Amino acid sequence: MSYLHVMKIARRSLILALPALALARPVFAQAIPLREISRYFNSFQTAEGDFTQINPDGSLATGRVFIRRPGRVRFEYDPPEQSLVMAGGGQVAIFDGRSNQGPNQYPLRQTPLNLILEQNVDFENRRMVVGHTTDGTTTSVVAQDPENPQYGSIRLIFSANPTELRQWVIRDDTGAETTVILGNLQFGGTLSARLFNITAEMDARRR
C-alpha cells in the first residue's frame, strides 16, 4: 500500500492560495546550495508545527506534525478526521479511527520521507537528488532513493534567508501527488518517544 493511497482523507474544499506565503520572502537569484539544505535538516533533532495536506483527489486535511530525527514522524489530523499516521522503529503505521482493525504498516525505507528522516542527511554526496531548481523566490529539490526509484519521490520547497522548509510534495509510482504545506516549525522541543511508538498506540486504542 503506497503512502499516497493511504493518506487520502475525505473533506473537499478549495485551497490553492497558500503558496502566497512564499511571495513575501526576499527574492534571491540562485538556488539554495545542497550543502545548506543538508545543514538545515541536520541542525535539528525535533520539530513540530501545523500542516495543511492536499490529497491527490483535491480533498483537504489539516493537523499537526511532530518530527524526531532519525526515523520518527507523527501526523495528527484535526477533527472530524480520525486518522493518525506515524513512523517509528523503522515502520510506518496508518491508523483509521473508523476501523476496528489494526493499522496498515509498511517499512519506512519504502517511503520518500525516509530521505529526510535519516541520521545524516547528505544531498551533496548521494545520488538521491534528481532536480535542484529555483523560480527566483523558492528553491525546489527533488529526491528519490537511487537504488529504489519505484518508491516514489519527494519534492522539497524552501524559502531563503534563513533557509526554511515550506512544503513537500510526495509522488508515488503512479504519478499521484500529495502536498503537505507547513506552518512555522518550532525546533528543539522535547518530544516523548511515546508519540512514535506504534505498539503503544495500538495498545492504547484497544483499551
Check residue 97 and give its pLDDT: 75
Rg (CA), the chain: 17
Q: Are 56 and 8 in contact (CB under 8 A)?
A: yes
- In angstroms, the CA 92 to CA 38 distance is 23
Condensed to tens digits (0 to 9), the pLDDT of residues 23-70 reads 444 444 699 999 999 999 999 999 999 999 999 999 999 999 999 999
Burial of 80 (0-12, 13-18, 19+ CB in 10 A): exposed
Give phi and psi for 191, each to the nearest 5: -115, 120
- In angstroms, the CA 70 to CA 58 distance is 31
Domains and CATH numbers, the chain: 3-11+27-192 (2.50.20.10)
Cell 493499522 belongs to which residue? 103
Q: Nearest-5° angle of CA 90, CA 91, CA 95?
A: 155
Mind giving me the DSSP string for 85-97? EEEETTEEEEEET
Q: Which three cell numbers stand for residue 3?
A: 503512502
Condensed to tens digits (0 to 9), the pLDDT of residues 86-104 reads 999 999 999 987 777 789 9
Condensed to tens digits (0 to 9), the pLDDT of residues 149-159 reads 999 999 999 99
Q: Are 170 and 3 in contact (CB under 8 A)?
A: yes
Condensed to tens digits (0 to 9), the pLDDT of residues 162-179 reads 999 999 999 988 889 999
Q: Which residues contact 128 (CB under 8 A, 6 or more apart)?
A: 115, 143, 144, 145, 146
